[in-house]
Amino acid sequence: MATEEDLDALLARQKKEQKALVSQTTSLKKSVTKGEKAKRKEVLAEVQRLEDELKQRHERELAELQKRAASSDSADLNGVKYSLPVEDSDLPTIQAMSIKDEADATKAKIGKPKVNRQKARMVLQLAMCLTTTGKEGG
């Protein structure tokens, strides 16, 4: 049970770190103007490096947690040793969770479609013109 709680805490922390990285990369990318191609290239390389480091660290942490869970699977209760079966089916579940988190992050990037403000302003002006000309004509 403790390993499940550890896994939940680890995944929650990793999700927070992923969100923080996304916001950090966004701010880095926005800090560079389009004219600065060399600086933009450096920033993109830095972003890629940060993403790779985070991904490797998260994978390493999951592997360490799984090793600890496997080593603590044999519990000694009242002098009797019980061993819990280690299932390989847990690994795809964890990988599916991380893939789902990545998909959620991608969806969050897409967000709502932008409002065409120019078109809305033109519609408003047209409506204003129609209402004012309608009153004067009568």
Say if residue 23's pLDDT is above 50.
Answer: yes
What is the pLDDT at residue 78? Answer: 47
DSSP labels, 71-120 = HTSEEEETTEEEEPPPPTTHHHHHHHHHHHHHHHHHHHHH-SPPP-HHHH
Is 22 in contact with 105 (CB distance < 8 Å)? yes
Alpha helices for 31-84 (secondary structure H): 37-71
What is the pLDDT at residue 48? Answer: 94
DSSP single-letter state for residue 1:
-
What is the pLDDT at residue 71? Answer: 79
Domain positions in the chain are 2-137
What would the mean pLDDT of 115-129 be, rounded to a whole number? 86
Say if residue 106's pLDDT is above 70.
Answer: no
Reported confidence tier of residue 116, pLDDT bands at 50, 70, 90: confident
pTM: 0.50
Q: 3-class DSSP state for residue 97?
A: helix
Say if residue 138's pLDDT is above 50.
Answer: no
Q: What percent of the chain has pLDDT over 70?
A: 67
67 C-beta neighbours (distance < 10 Å), count: 10
Reported confidence tier of residue 103, pLDDT bands at 50, 70, 90: low
More confident residue, 17 or 89: 17
